Structure 1
Amino acid sequence: MLVIISTLANKNEELQTFLETVDTTLSGLQEESSKVTSDLEAELEQLSSALDEKGAELRGAIKEEAQRKEVQLQKQLSEGRVAMMSCEELLDFANQTLTITNEEEFLKAAKQIKERVTMAPAFRLTTRPAASSSFSEFTVDFSVERAGLQRLHFLPVPAAPQVDPSCCVVCDNTVMVAWQPAGEGGADGGGGRIERYEVEYRKTNQESPLRAAGACWEKIHDITDTQVTITGLKFDSHFVVVRVRARNKAAAGEFSEPVAIETT
Structure 2
Amino acid sequence: MIGIRKVIFKGSVPSFASKEKGKSFRETNTLSTPNRDSNIDLSVINSLVYCESSALDYAATETELSQNLQQLSEKARSTTEFIQRLKGMADKVNENCSEFEVVVSSQCDALIQAIHERKRQLLDFIRQDKDVKLRTLKDQVSTCTCKLQHTTGLLQFCIEALKETDSAAFLQVGSMLINRVANIDITWHKDVVTSPRISHEFDLTLEDKSVLRSIEQLNFIQMKPPCAPAVIPEECSAENNSVTIAWQPPPTSYVEGYVLELDDGNGGEFREVYCGKETICTVDGLHFNSMYNARVKAFNSTGEGEYSDLIGLQTAEVAWFSFDPCLAPTELQFSEDNCTVACEGYEHRVALGSVGFSRGVHYWEFSVNRYDSDTDPSFGIARLDVSKDQMLGKDDKGWSMYIDRQRSWFMHNSVHEQRSEGGIQPGSTVGVLLDLDRHQLSFYVNEEPQGPIAFQDLYGVFYPAVSLNRGVSVTLHTAIDPPSDSEES
TM-score band w.r.t. shorter chain: 0.5 to 0.7
CA distance in 2, matches of 1:24, 1:5: 28
C-alpha displacement of 1:22:
0.6
C-alpha displacement of 1:71:
0.8
C-alpha displacement of 1:250:
5.2
- Give matches, 1:1-264, under 5 Å: 1-111=65-175, 113=177, 117=181, 123=188, 124-136=191-203, 138-158=204-224, 192-193=252-253, 249=299, 251-252=301-302
C-alpha displacement of 1:144:
2.4
Secondary structure of the equivalent of 1:126?
coil
C-alpha displacement of 1:10:
0.8
Q: Which has the higher strand share?
A: 2
What per-residue deviation string (whole Å, max 9, x for no partner) do you get for residues 33-73 of structure 1?
Answer: 11111110111011111111111111111110110110111
- Checking the alignment, whether the CA contact within 8 Å between 1:156 and 1:192 is kept in structure 2 is no
% identical equivalent positions:
18
CA distance in 2, matches of 1:58, 1:107: 64
Amino acid paired to 1:25: M
TM value normalised by structure 1:
0.55
C-alpha displacement of 1:130:
2.3
Q: Name the CA shift for 1:42/1:151 in 2 (closer, same or farther; >3 Å).
A: same
What per-residue deviation string (whole Å, max 9, x for no partner) do you get for residues 156-191 of structure 1?
Answer: 3339xxxxxxxxxxxxxxxxxxxxxxxxxxxx9xx9
What per-residue deviation string (whole Å, max 9, x for no partner) do you get for residues 92-151 of structure 1?
Answer: 22122222233321123325535765589x943433322221321x21231222122011
- Checking the alignment, whether the CA contact within 8 Å between 2:254 and 2:300 is kept in structure 1 is no
Q: Please, which runs of 5 or more residues in structure 2 have no aligned partner?
A: 1-64, 226-249, 257-297, 304-489
Q: Please, which runs of 5 or more residues in structure 1 have no aligned partner?
A: 160-187, 197-247, 254-264
- Checking the alignment, whether the CA contact within 8 Å between 2:161 and 2:170 is kept in structure 1 is yes
Amino acid paired to 2:213: A
CA distance in 1, matches of 2:215, 2:73: 56
Q: Which has the higher helix share?
A: 1
Secondary structure of the equivalent of 2:201?
coil
C-alpha displacement of 1:192:
4.4
CA distance in 1, matches of 2:180, 2:254: 85
CA distance in 2, matches of 1:19, 1:156: 27
C-alpha displacement of 1:195:
7.6
Q: Name the CA shift for 1:28/1:70 in 2 (closer, same or farther; >3 Å).
A: same
Q: Name the CA shift for 1:37/1:250 in 2 (closer, same or farther; >3 Å).
A: farther
Q: Name the CA shift for 1:36/1:130 in 2 (closer, same or farther; >3 Å).
A: same
TM value normalised by structure 2:
0.31
Secondary structure of the equivalent of 1:67?
helix
Larger radius of gyration: 2
